[in-house]
């Protein structure tokens, strides 16, 4: 049930209408059932897996809270981490690690060993809800929060359908209290939610899906063997595709949650306006970057154990962050480049505060960081390391075809609106265009977004990129 499909909006309308007719406890029970229906729409077996891990963590959290010794609490925490990461590792990384092991021993001259690969399908959103479950257990262990008294409340915190498949990853101390207390209809916030949904659909259907046409043609070889124009077209197109796709998903998720009376954290703040990689990660996929910072980087020691350890922690965090995105060495290299870049910025002492910098210097830094990020996107998009190196190798070759100019014009046409939208949001600090304007202007923006979707939507069955993670 994709967020840009008619069936989702039929589902959302029915849920909203029924939900606001119920009392608080009935609302939670109803939303839990609706969320399980939403997730089970793909395959009911995936639903059993999520429910199983939810039950385990619910009882372990209470056992941790009751435990009288630190040793017992650590044992229970370890059990939860093994269960959660064991499930994630089996479904997402088992074949990857087995395949990598085979390649390593073959490199040492060992003949093809007899190994078994699992014929499994990756459950949708397993990386997202696993991170949310781990955050909950760790926060209970650290006594940052109390375990949920009611199973239904905790299960809803994990499975609430707007964030279930691709985030934003919700923090326990932010979302769980919202689940545990009554919610009341707010017409103005619901209007904001509907406008967020409209803007999210515009980002996905108009920007991302059209840019995907260029990116897919470039990376699949339909434009021909990689050369400078093809590499640039494909890389720029994918940069705007993935941004429009994932920020659009986040807007739809946040909008749907807001209509239901919940607040989700902002997941993107104009990331392509960053002046450093550090700033980029403060603007891009904020729910993931802050999770990696708080539950991995700081746990490794952060910057508290000397400079060399800090660089090691940065690199380790980003390597694992890259692997989180997919079971492929391309994602590991993508994360490694970002980790090395973050460490290099620290070595060079690049200032974080650039508010007083000249206008030209600001934009030169933004352009530089944008191109560094675009370079890393090649590894993120390529299906294999060899395909990535082939694309990069194309930068050594020049060839020009008239079709490239047509593709460039098409790309500019469908990336420029998102760039202009971000300029406006960067200047105002709003969550969506005209957020602080009168109602009729806000509604006008939403209607204009819907009209653009009707007229310029790519009309192709492109799943949201992050659904696969």
Residue 197 and residue 171 in one domain: no
Mean of pLDDT values over 211-239: 96
Q: Which residue has the higher pLDDT, 260 or 94?
A: 260
CA 171 to CA 265: how far, in whole Å? 9
DSSP assignment of 239-285 equals HHHHHHHHHHHHHHHHHHHHHTT-------S-GGG-SSHHHHHHHSS
Residue 30 and residue 117 in one domain: yes
What pLDDT, on the 0 to 100 scale, is given for residue 42? 81
Residue 176 and residue 194 in one domain: no
Domain-located, residue 312 = no
The pTM of this model reads 0.93
- On the CB side of 34, CA atoms within 13 Å amount to 21
For the stretch 17-69, pLDDT in tens is 999 999 999 999 999 999 999 999 888 888 999 999 999 999 999 999 999 89
Residue 178 and residue 257 in one domain: no
Residue 417 has pLDDT above 70, yes or no: yes
**Given 131, 151, 183, which residue is the final one in a domain?**
183
Mean of pLDDT values over 83-107: 79
- Write the CB contacts of 60 (distance below 8 Å, at least 6 apart in sequence): 76, 77, 79, 80, 137
CA geometry: angle 150, 172, 191, nearest 5 deg: 95
State the average pLDDT for the chain. Answer: 91
Residue 364 and residue 432 in one domain: yes
Residue 169 and residue 203 in one domain: no
What pLDDT, on the 0 to 100 scale, is given for residue 166? 87
CA 95 to CA 327: how far, in whole Å? 8
Residue 445 has pLDDT above 90, yes or no: no
Handedness of CA 124, 129, 131, 134 (dihedral sign): negative
The verdict on whether 325 is a catalytic residue reads yes
Residue 40 and residue 150 in one domain: yes
Residue 52 and residue 89 in one domain: yes
CA geometry: angle 165, 168, 169, nearest 5 deg: 90
| Nearest in space to 140 (alpha carbons), one of 58, 29, 219 | 58
Residue 29 and residue 134 in one domain: yes
CA 206 to CA 240: how far, in whole Å? 11
CA 247 to CA 211: how far, in whole Å? 14
Residue 370 and residue 249 in one domain: yes
CA 432 to CA 411: how far, in whole Å? 23
Domain-located, residue 303 = no
**Given 165, 183, 201, which residue is the final one in a domain?**
183
Contact, 205 vs 458, CB < 8 A? yes
How many independent structural domains does the chain possess? 2
Lowest-confidence range among 50-54, 102-106, 279-283?
102-106
Domain-located, residue 282 = no
Domain-located, residue 135 = yes
Contact, 14 vs 8, CB < 8 A? no
Domain-located, residue 129 = yes
Per annotation, catalytic residue among 263, 325, 397, 439: 325
Residue 117 and residue 210 in one domain: no
Contact, 343 vs 379, CB < 8 A? no
Q: Which residue has the higher pLDDT, 29 or 115?
A: 29
CA 415 to CA 419: how far, in whole Å? 6
The alpha carbon of 246 is separated from its chain's Cα centroid by a whole number of angstroms, namely 6
Residue 463 and residue 366 in one domain: yes
Domain-located, residue 334 = no
* Full domain range(s) for residue 85: 23-183
**Given 183, 198, 233, which residue is the final one in a domain?**
183
For the stretch 135-152, pLDDT in tens is 999 999 999 999 999 999
Q: Which residue has the higher pLDDT, 387 or 112?
A: 387
Domain-located, residue 12 = no
Q: CB atoms < 10 A from the CB of 173, how many? A: 12
What pLDDT, on the 0 to 100 scale, is given for residue 441? 86
CA 148 to CA 175: how far, in whole Å? 12
What pLDDT, on the 0 to 100 scale, is given for residue 243? 98
Contact, 211 vs 395, CB < 8 A? no
CA dihedral 32, 33, 37, 40 (to 10 degrees): 70
CA 129 to CA 166: how far, in whole Å? 9
Domain-located, residue 72 = yes
Task: Please classify residue 78 by burial: count the beta carbons closer than 10 Å to its beta carbon, then call 0-12 exposed, 13-18 middle and 19+ buried.
Answer: exposed
Task: Please classify residue 348 by burial: count the beta carbons closer than 10 Å to its beta carbon, then call 0-12 exposed, 13-18 middle and 19+ buried.
Answer: exposed
């Amino acid at each position: 049930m994709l967020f840009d499909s008619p069936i989702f909006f039929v589902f959302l309308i029915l849920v909203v209408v029924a939900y606001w007719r119920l009392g608080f406890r009935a609302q939670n029970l109803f939303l839990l059932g609706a969320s399980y229906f939403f997730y089970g729409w793909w395959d009911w077996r995936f639903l059993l897996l999520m429910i199983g891990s939810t039950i385990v963590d619910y009882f372990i959290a209470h056992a941790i809270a009751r435990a009288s010794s630190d040793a017992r609490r650590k044992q229970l925490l370890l059990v939860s981490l093994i269960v959660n990461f064991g499930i994630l590792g089996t479904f997402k990384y088992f074949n990857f690690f087995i395949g990598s092991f085979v390649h390593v021993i073959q490199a040492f001259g060992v003949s093809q060993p007899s190994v078994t690969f699992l014929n499994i399908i990756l459950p949708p959103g397993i990386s997202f809800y696993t991170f949310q479950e781990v955050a909950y257990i760790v926060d209970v262990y650290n006594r940052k929060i109390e375990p949920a008294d009611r199973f239904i409340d905790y299960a809803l915190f994990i499975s609430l359908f707007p964030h279930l498949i691709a985030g934003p990853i919700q923090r326990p101390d932010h979302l769980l209290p919202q689940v545990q207390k009554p919610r009341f209809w707010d017409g103005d916030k619901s209007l904001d939610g509907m406008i967020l949904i409209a803007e999210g659909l515009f980002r996905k259907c108009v920007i991302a899906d059209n840019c995907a046409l260029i990116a897919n043609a470039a990376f699949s070889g339909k434009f021909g063997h990689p050369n400078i124009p093809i590499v640039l077209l494909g890389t720029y197109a994918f940069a705007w595709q993935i941004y429009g796709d994932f920020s659009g998903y986040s807007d739809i998720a946040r909008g749907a949650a807001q209509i239901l009376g919940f607040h989700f954290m902002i997941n993107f703040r104009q990331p392509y306006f960053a002046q450093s990689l550090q700033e980029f990660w403060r603007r891009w996929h904020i729910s993931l970057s802050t999770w990696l910072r708080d539950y991995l980087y700081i746990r490794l020691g952060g910057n508290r154990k000397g400079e060399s350890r800090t660089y090691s922690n940065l690199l380790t965090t980003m390597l694992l962050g890259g692997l989180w995105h997919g079971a492929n060495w391309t994602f590991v290299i993508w994360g490694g480049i970002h980790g090395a870049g973050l460490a290099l910025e620290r070595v060079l002492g690049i200032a974080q505060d650039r508010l007083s910098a000249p206008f030209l210097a600001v934009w030169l830094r933004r352009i530089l960081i944008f191109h560094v990020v675009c370079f890393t996107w090649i590894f993120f998009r390529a299906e294999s390391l060899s395909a990535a190196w082939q694309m990069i190798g194309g930068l050594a070759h020049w060839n020009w075809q008239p079709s490239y100019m047509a593709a460039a014009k098409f790309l500019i046409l469908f990336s420029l609106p998102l760039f202009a939208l971000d300029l406006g949001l960067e200047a105002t600090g709003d969550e969506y265009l005209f957020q602080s304007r009168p109602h009729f202007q806000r509604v006008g923006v939403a209607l204009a977004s819907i009209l653009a979707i009707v007229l310029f939507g790519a009309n192709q069955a492109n799943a949201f990129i992050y659904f696969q993670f």
